[in-house]
Amino acid sequence: MTYLILKYLHVSCVILSGSGFFLRGLWMLDNSPRLQQPLVRVVPHIVDTVLLASAVAMVVISAQYPFVVGWLTAKLIGLLIYIGCGSMALKRGRSLRQRRFFFFAALLALAYIVSVAWTRNPLGPLTWIG
Judged against a pLDDT cut of 90, whether residue 100 lies above it is answered with yes
Residue 12 forms part of a structural domain: yes
- Over residues 108-130, mean pLDDT: 89
Residue 129 forms part of a structural domain: no
Residue 126 forms part of a structural domain: no
Residue 127 forms part of a structural domain: no
Residues 13-61 have pLDDT tens digits of 999 999 999 999 999 999 999 999 999 999 999 999 999 999 999 999 9
If one counts the domains in the chain, the total is: 1
3-state helix, strand, coil in the chain (%, to 5): 80, 0, 20
In percent, the amount of the chain with pLDDT more than 70 equals 98
Residue 128 forms part of a structural domain: no
- In order of 9, 18, 64, 120, 121, the CA distances from 130 in angstroms are 31, 28, 22, 13, 10
Residue 53 forms part of a structural domain: yes
Give CA–CA dist 39/35, Å, rounded.
Answer: 9
- Residue 127, pLDDT score: 77
Judged against a pLDDT cut of 80, whether residue 5 lies above it is answered with yes
How many CA atoms are closer than 13 Å to the CA of 81, on its beta-carbon side? 16
Residue 104 forms part of a structural domain: yes
Give CA–CA dist 14/54, Å, rounded.
Answer: 11
> Rounded to a whole number, what is the distance in angstroms from the first to the last CA of the chain?
35
- Residue 128, pLDDT score: 75
Judged against a pLDDT cut of 70, whether residue 94 lies above it is answered with yes
Give CA–CA dist 117/115, Å, rounded.
Answer: 5
Q: Tell me how long the chain is.
A: 130
- Residue 79, pLDDT score: 96
Q: Which domain holds residue 94?
A: 3-120
Residue 41 forms part of a structural domain: yes
Question: Global pTM?
Answer: 0.92
- Residue 53, pLDDT score: 97
